[in-house]
Amino acid sequence: MSKTPSRLKTASNPFQTAWRTPHGLPPFAKITADHYWPAFKDALSQHKAEIAAIGANEKKPTFQNTIVALEKSGEALNKVADVFFNLSSSDTSPALQEIERKLAPVLAQHSNTIQLDQKLFRRIEDLYERRDALKLDDEQMRLLERTYTTFVRAGAKLSAKARKRVAEINTRLAELVTAFGQNVLADEQSWRLALDGDADLAGLPQGVRDAAARTAADLKLPASHVITLSRSSVEPFLQFSARRDLREEAFKAWIKRGENGGKTDNRKIVAEIVKLRAELAKLMGYRTFADYSLDDTMAKTPDAVRGLLTQVWSAAVSRVGEEREALTALARKEGGNYTLEAWDWRYLAEKERKARYDLDESEIRPYLQLENMIDAAFDTATRLFGLKFKELKDAPRYHPDVRVWEVTTKAGEPVGVFLGDYYARPSKRSGAWMSSFRAQHKLGKGSNPVIVNVLNFARGAEGKPTLLSIDDARTLFHEFGHGLHGLLSDVTYPSLSGTNVSRDFVELPSQLYEHWLTRPEVLRRFATHYKTGRPMPESLMKRIQASRTFNQGFATAEYVASALVDMDLHALEAADGLDVGEFEKTTLSRLGMPREVVMRHRIPHFQHIMGGYAAGYYSYLWSEVMDADAFAAFEEAGDIYDRKTAARLKQHVYSAGNRRDPLEAYVAFRGRPPKVESLLRKRGFGG
């Protein structure tokens, strides 16, 4: 008997069959763009039925028939969504972008339907009000409290009219945020700086030239060397290029992403997003979106955030003044008869570092081979947490560049799978991030995590290794710290798994992990010259340590300015007629932004705050207070791999997910709350 067309369709769709692949990895080679939409439709329908059944249950609400049932629902939807959204960020295409635009409002409406469902919420609320009599363990209590809070913050307790408007706002925001991100990527893809001949390459060290040559070849462009707007391409160019005119051209293109007029201009999109968020906050009973957003974080209030940011800002601006004077004097000494501009800063700072510490980036890069830095990150995890990494050469992968490792304990017990996607390409959005194709949990048969790190390093020339800057290597360690947060997760419930923690706590595991990179114990073993194989000289390591706080005024100011602008933007009580460019200009002027420093992310391409970090870019600094203080625990123990300290860190931070309040988790590890003085010392501002 022949199969029906619907059965044929189901059988041919990888999302609607069991994955009999190594470690249950997605069968990427079998998945095409045509599979996503029907898979989403079926998964959404299934999830709706699961939610309806929970709400319609006539039995008295229990933790099992309501909260656990909710945790178990949506498995099919997660299966397709995890693959789709990972690929739409890391290896997109016009077909995927079209689906993403179509899908964004559909998923927003689906989420609204669940979180505003009154039958479902009444069951959750009933359990919450009886929570002290339910005899729940600590993790169950945490899940109940977080579930209730999530529904309340989504608007479940509002009037019917308000709930309807919340749903409309969320749907429109989903459309706008998707368009914003696609516009930034389009601007990044459309700009190239062709370099031809020695004059265009003046000042660029061989490693930067090799990467630019490889970019030209990969993009199949006629120029011999090409610079793109990927940070790992444009920043080294600004750092080393002796061509001031080309530096200016590249810098202006870099900071103008999302602000070039035409179809990809994001300014009107930003204005509408901010206006809708302000309205949403009012509906939720808050004065501003910043108040609403921060109420469910460690910081709690905008005043607490501004208190930290302002303290660091004043120290940074003061240091920028000292740095400006030094760079201006250097320019004049070299005969530069010009006013110092933003596109000069990195170039002159590199020269000043060479003069002051006998150190420049081109001297460090040959020792920081990508392969060795991956090994260093893995080795640190082995020493701290007892993990082993075995590369799987034949495992499924979504792009030929992607590498896959099986992660186990030293005893061989399975932990999860780690994917590394390290090179920049036009199909990948800029930046660096960690994500998951599958989260850890213990419900039912349980689930081991499948974690991915996505970065944007400029690939080395054909036949040569990829060499990293110290900032690139730090980014690799940072994202792997996030990766460990996902891999080491040891919780029962998916909603509490891995990085599902407070936004201003989630950067602690990643920023803390950065500390190991520049320790002599790591550099001696893994920082070896790509030509000679010799380890980095002790003298060079000492110079790197000595220069650790060099240019920190600039680095801190460009970051904190972005965080303060984010706070002010989302502290608007109304945003009718918002002129994004004028707002940014006025805010920076009021802050006293040094003229030669530009925000690390200007508003028209500030993807953090248009996405999940709205009123939350401060989080990196908030977490930095903890990471500086946390690493001091290892220093106090006299061993950066101290077993007892590492065991506490794993138990209370890396494996704990969201089982407890984040401050309680930190205190359980450290024995006390964090001290801001550690942050100020780390950045060289005293304290």
Catalytic residues: 479
The total of other beta-carbon atoms located within 10 Å of residue 243's CB is: 18
DSSP state of 535: B
- The Cα–Cα gap between 650 and 323 comes to 40
In the chain, the amino acid numbered 392 is L
Q: What is 592-650 written as a DSSP string?
A: T--TT---SS-GGG-HHHHTTTTT-TTHHHHHHHHHHHHHHHHHHHT-TT-HHHHHHHI
Q: Are 452 and 514 in contact (CB under 8 A)?
A: no
Which tokens belong to 207?
A: 């490693």
The residue written with tokens 């860190």 in the block is 649
DSSP 93-116: -HHHHHHHHHHHHHHHHHHHHHHT
Are 593 and 586 in contact by the 8 Å Cβ rule? The answer is no
DSSP single-letter state for residue 44: H
Q: Is 13 helix (H, G, I), strand (E, B) or coil?
A: coil
What are residue 376's phi and psi, to 5 degrees?
A: -65, -40
Distance between CA 135 and CA 126 in Å, rounded? 15
**In angstroms, rounded to a whole number, what is the distance separating the alpha carbons of residues 168 and 424?**
36
3-state secondary structure of 528: strand
Whole-angstrom distance, CA of residue 171 vs CA of residue 166? 9
Angle at 184 between CA 180 and CA 185, to 5 degrees: 115
CB-CB contact of 9 with 38 (8 Å): yes
Q: Residue 251: which of 331, 191, 200, 181 has the closest Cα?
A: 191
Spatial CB neighbours of 244, under 8 Å, sequence gap ≥ 6: 338, 343, 344, 347
3-state DSSP of 385-444? HCEEEEECCCCCCCCCCCEEEEEEECCCCEEEEEEEEEECCCCCCCCCEEEEEECCECCC
HEC string of 223-280 equals CCEEECCCHHHHHHHHHHCCCHHHHHHHHHHHHCCCCCCHHHCCHHHHHHHHHHHHHH
**CA separation for the pair 547, 586 (Å, rounded):** 34
